[in-house]
């Protein structure tokens, strides 16, 4: 990986030794490479060269303000799913006209707030949401720009918890009901139909599901326009996977070369495009530095107990996800197989299983591919403060979030009256 790599025996993030970051900011610690994020973005930008396309970073992957700032400054819009995420876009100085609002459960208050701020598009997920959005817009005497999320019913061939475009899913409007739903939307005075969107799942590593979904969406655009409703933009969602453990997803530019060829062949090459990538922009730009606390040899297993845990890195516990784990200081000593686990009181608190490591207490490890869906899904379980975050910008390291103290974790609580 060009931004997280060994020089001699030392792990570096760009030009900064990981050991120095651990020393300066303490562990456990999230560290992100700004250059890695911009490289990942550049692959999409190359793919869309000469096209009309807007990249809306799906900020649920990692919504730390400085990260949003990097993407905002690079020209990205944002895909949001809550008023909280909308407030983050504002705080980071993002362009509100480039915000799209996804999610199956938008509240009236969230709709009102987003309409007042003038976001670019609501990605509506159901017929009843359309009706409510229409009412809210009329009450504010505005028109809400809408796209309808359609469910293309293709199998993204990924983990069942993160595949979203199949029939049995809670997301989107069924393919067969799409034309009707668009006709309804076009007849509602508080709505202005601007686009169509889909999102078939996450950590997708194959091109075919995307090609199939594109065909299904283009079929619908043709049918909807024939029914008299013009579609200005096509939002193709996110979902492109990253390499966690020898995965071989296509590069973003290679994927889009295939998809654009299809768009061209079907006469949609000049359509305004939008995408909502999350993981592929930040996942491999981040690591989590953690210190080995104890080694606990056992009859069946050896445990390597580290100071990061499932509340900081929930993906293994939630999805049995794999994250690479490497030493900050490489060693030539004999390796032993360990389950790498955290201090949380649950058997599900593991970060890696059966990893060959040559480590001693006090050594530091780096959990790889920790830029996406780690910090943003972390919790205070066991009253563990959330981690500090550092953004490496070439040779500089910026603390972009300080470590939570115990007091921070209960600052919103009240004791009962005496």
Q: Which of 58, 124, 220, 328 binds ligand LLP (CB under 6 A)?
A: 58
Residues 383-417 as b/e (b if ≥16 CB within 10 A, e otherwise) read ebbbbbbbbbbeeebeebbebbeeeebeeeeeeee
Q: Counting contacts by CB under 6 A, is residue 125 touching ligand LLP?
A: no
Q: Which of 145, 156, 277, 286 binds ligand LLP (CB under 6 A)?
A: 277
Q: Which of 102, 151, 163, 181 binds ligand LLP (CB under 6 A)?
A: 102
110, 141, 162 from 107: Cα distances, Å: 5, 18, 23
Applying CB under 6 A, the span of 4-12, 183-191, 270-278, 350-358 interacting with ligand LLP comes to 270-278
What stretches of 59-124 adopt beta strand conformation (E)? 77-80, 99-101, 121-124
Applying CB under 6 A, the span of 1-9, 195-203, 336-344, 351-359 interacting with ligand LLP comes to 195-203
**Calpha distance 293→206 (Å, rounded):** 39
Quote the least distance from Cβ 377 to ligand LLP, whole Å. Answer: 6
Per the annotation, does 279 bind a ligand?
yes
Per the annotation, does 131 bind a ligand?
no
Quote the least distance from Cβ 242 to ligand LLP, whole Å. Answer: 9
Structure tokens at 125: 């997920």
Q: Which of 33, 202, 205, 284 binds ligand LLP (CB under 6 A)?
A: 202
Just list the catalytic residues. 345
User: With respect to ligand LLP, which residue has the nearer C-beta, 204 or 357?
Assistant: 204
What stretches of 312-385 adopt beta strand conformation (E)? 325-327, 336-341, 350-357, 364-367
Query: Strand pairing of 388-393 and 396-401?
Result: antiparallel
**Calpha distance 199→48 (Å, rounded):** 19
Cα 171 to chain center, whole Å? 17
Q: Which of 63, 126, 147, 280 binds ligand LLP (CB under 6 A)?
A: 280
> Could you say which residues in the range 204-243 bind ligand LLP, by CB under 6 A?
237-240
> Could you say which residues in the range 341-370 bind ligand LLP, by CB under 6 A?
none
Helix H or strand E encompassing 6 = strand 4-7
**Calpha distance 1→164 (Å, rounded):** 29
In the stretch 146-185, what mask flags binding to ligand LLP with x, by CB under 6 A?
----------------x-x---------------------
Q: Counting contacts by CB under 6 A, is residue 384 touching ligand LLP?
A: no
Quote the least distance from Cβ 395 to ligand LLP, whole Å. Answer: 29
**Calpha distance 348→351 (Å, rounded):** 9
Per the annotation, does 135 bind a ligand?
no
Per the annotation, does 319 bind a ligand?
yes
Between CA 131 and CA 323, with CA 239 as vertex, the angle to 5 degrees is 130
Applying CB under 6 A, the span of 10-18, 214-222, 278-286, 395-403 interacting with ligand LLP comes to 278-286
Q: Which of 88, 106, 216, 315 binds ligand LLP (CB under 6 A)?
A: 315
User: With respect to ligand LLP, which residue has the nearer C-beta, 276 or 307?
Assistant: 276
Q: Which of 34, 88, 279, 384 binds ligand LLP (CB under 6 A)?
A: 279
Q: Which of 150, 119, 153, 112 lies closest to 134, judged by CA?
A: 112
HEC per residue, 16-65: EEHHHHHHHHCCCEEEEEHHHHHHHHHHHHHHCCCCCEEEEEEHHHCCCH
Q: Are 149 and 173 in contact (CB under 8 A)?
A: yes
Q: Counting contacts by CB under 6 A, is residue 79 touching ligand LLP?
A: yes
Q: Write out the binding residues.
A: 239, 276-279, 315, 319, 346, 373
Q: Write out the binding residues for substrate.
A: 279, 315, 319, 346, 373
Q: Name the site residues for ligand LLP (rule: CB under 6 A).
A: 58, 61, 79, 102, 162, 164, 199, 202-203, 237-240, 276-280, 315, 319, 373
């Amino acid at each position: 990986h060009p931004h997280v790599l060994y020089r001699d025996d030392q792990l570096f993030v760009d030009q900064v030794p990981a050991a120095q970051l651990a020393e300066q900011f303490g562990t456990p610690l999230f560290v992100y490479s700004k250059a890695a994020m911009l490289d990942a973005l550049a692959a999409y930008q190359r793919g869309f060269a000469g096209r009309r396309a807007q990249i809306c970073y799906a900020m649920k992957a990692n919504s730390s303000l400085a990260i949003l700032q990097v993407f905002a400054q690079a020209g990205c819009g944002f895909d949001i799913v809550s008023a909280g995420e909308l407030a983050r876009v504002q705080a980071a100085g993002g362009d509100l006209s480039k915000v799209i609002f996804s999610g199956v459960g938008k509240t009236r208050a969230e709709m009102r707030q987003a309409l007042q701020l003038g976001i670019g598009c609501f990605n509506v997920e159901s017929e009843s949401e359309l009706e409510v959005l229409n009412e809210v817009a009329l009450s504010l005497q505005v028109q809400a720009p809408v796209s309808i999320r359609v469910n293309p019913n293709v199998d993204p061939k990924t983990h069942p918890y993160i595949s979203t475009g199949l029939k049995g899913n809670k997301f989107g409007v069924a393919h067969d009901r799409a034309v009707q739903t668009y006709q309804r939307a076009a007849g509602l005075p508080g709505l202005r139909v601007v686009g169509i969107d889909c999102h078939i799942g996450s950590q997708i590593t194959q091109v075919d599901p995307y090609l199939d979904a594109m065909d299904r969406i283009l079929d619908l655009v043709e049918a909807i326009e024939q029914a008299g409703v013009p579609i200005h933009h096509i939002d193709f969602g996110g979902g492109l996977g990253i390499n966690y453990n020898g995965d071989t997803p296509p590069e973003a530019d290679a994927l889009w070369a295939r998809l654009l060829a299809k768009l061209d062949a079907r006469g949609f090459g000049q359509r305004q495009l939008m995408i909502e990538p999350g993981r592929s922009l930040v996942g491999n730009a981040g690591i989590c530095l953690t210190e080995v606390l104890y080694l606990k040899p056992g009859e069946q297993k050896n445990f390597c107990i580290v100071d990061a845990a499932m509340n900081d890195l929930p993906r293994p516990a939630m999805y049995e996800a794999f994250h690479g784990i490497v030493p900050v200081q490489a060693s030539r000593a004999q390796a032993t197989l360990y389950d790498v686990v955290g201090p949380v009181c649950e058997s599900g608190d593991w970060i890696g299983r059966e990893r060959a490591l040559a480590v001693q207490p006090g050594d530091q490890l780096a959990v790889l591919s920790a830029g996406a869906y780690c910090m943003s899904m972390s919790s205070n379980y066991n009253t563990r403060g959330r981690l500090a975050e550092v953004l490496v910008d070439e040779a500089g390291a910026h603390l972009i979030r300080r470590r939570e103290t115990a007091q921070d974790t209960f600052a919103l609580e009240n004791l009962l009256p005496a």
